A and B are shown apart, each in its own frame.
Chain A
């Protein structure tokens, strides 16, 4: 049954949505959305290296992403520049280096559109395995470091003072982001992955009152968007990645409707009558 490319697309997309939900929440809580973008931009360099050396794409992108994340930690300690400036510096310089290399190594032929926006319909069995095996590892690690990571997100000094290993949790979290971006390159592409991380989490924020609730609802929103997006793209023959993202935006807009308030005010009106 895995022969069918449609089924592979569903399985890969659903797997990805389940991971991006909780990770996306942490990205929003820690104001790291631009960091996700930076890692994603620098992924092009990984792709070029993978093609040039005939190496596995996901592993190459993962390695480059980790390198960029570590460079950021280094620059943060060495310079007085604000984080967003450092991220901009890294994102665009690494993207430029990737494009220069791509030009020099003229024998490489890359489907640039596929790289930028992903092509979920072209994923093969290996990609699906990467999503589910890699994704399960990411989720398990995230659950293991949840308490120190969450405490450090709320207040770093408090977490450190009370004996949690906040620095380690932060470093591991960075690696988790790098791996999710590597896994997702083929599915939604470099330009759209940050959207898949952030928009379901943002919609979930409007619907939840506890952190764990927000993480779970975020996964569910991602999952629904992937399923609806895939079907819509087949009906309209639209590009799949962008369609999925457009659906997440639709969910976000729906989440803005203040259901609780509406219910409460109706009750109040009834009471006052």
Chain B
């Protein structure tokens, strides 16, 4: 038996007289991070939706392992102004959790202090952290993250990616990650698929980065040291922006 959670086999979606994406095959297994990269309109989100069975492929097959918990962090989500919704209600949206579990999840993404805040009062970055926290709280087997760090400040972005890695280790889930920020993502990924309406190239990060198709899409002037850049912070920011244990480091 293979241990794949989700498998797309030569999938494509046809809408309004054109193929949004075609010929995509991918496999996400337990404890593995698969990253989709590609320019705007290249079919990244469409591919993610096929892997979640929100969109049925018009061609090819999508197989999702039965009885697995799935968490989804969509690219865009707007809460209607008429909805009174606190962070805690949002975390409980699909599955009800214990308050301690919610606190833990919000703590991991650094917004524990916002648990009773109305969702509409959150900033873009805080809301993105809330989306992540909700996804984590479910302890999913399969986690789909569609541009999960948009609107998050730079150091927060790296911290969140680190969090993602930690989650994989902790709950041993499979992750399908969509990102345009290659610099940070690449070093933490097991497998990269470069999309542009079809699969341009795929493989482990270090081989994709040398691929001619990849260079055509993203240019050759990407500094390889930058692509595999690992950010080292010597301090840690608290949610309010102050530096944790700043005086100790002096």
Contacts and interface: CB of A to CB of B under 8 A. Distances in A.
Interface of A: 28-29, 31, 147, 150-151, 153-155, 157-164, 205, 208-211, 213-214
Given A158-B74, A163-B70, A209-B86, 9 more contacts: A29-B82, A31-B80, A154-B77, A154-B85, A157-B72, A159-B93, A161-B74, A162-B95, A210-B89
Interface string B68-111: 00111010010110111110011001110000000000000000
Contact of B93 (A28, A154, A208): A154
A161 B77 CA distance: 14
Secondary structure of the B side of the interface? loop
Most buried by A among B80, B94, B95: B94
Contact of A205 (B84, B118, B144): B84
B99 to A, nearest CB: 14
A210 B86 CA distance: 7
Given A147-B94, A151-B94, A211-B89, A28 B72 contact: no
Contacts, number: 67
A209 B118 contact: yes
A58 B159 CA distance: 59
A157 B49 contact: yes
Contacts of A28: 82
Nearest to B92: A147
A209 B84 contact: yes
Contacts of A214: 84
5 A-B pairs with least C-beta separation: A161-B72, A161-B52, A162-B94, A28-B82, A160-B54
Contacts of A151: 93-94
Contacts of A158: 72, 74, 77, 93-94
B33 to A, nearest CB: 18
B70 A213 contact: no
Contacts of A159: 93-94
A161 B86 contact: no
A9 to B, nearest CB: 31
A175 B93 CA distance: 23
Nearest to B78: A155
Contacts of A147: 94
A162 B72 CA distance: 7
A29 B72 contact: no
A162 B118 contact: no
Contacts of B72: 157-158, 161-162
6 contacts: A154-B79, A160-B54, A161-B72, A162-B72, A211-B83, A211-B85
B54 A161 contact: yes
B178 to A, nearest CB: 14
Contacts of B118: 209
A98 to B, nearest CB: 32
Contacts of B53: 160-161
A96 B33 CA distance: 59
Contact of A154 (B49, B71, B83, B144): B83
A154 B91 CA distance: 12
A263 to B, nearest CB: 18
A232 B37 CA distance: 66
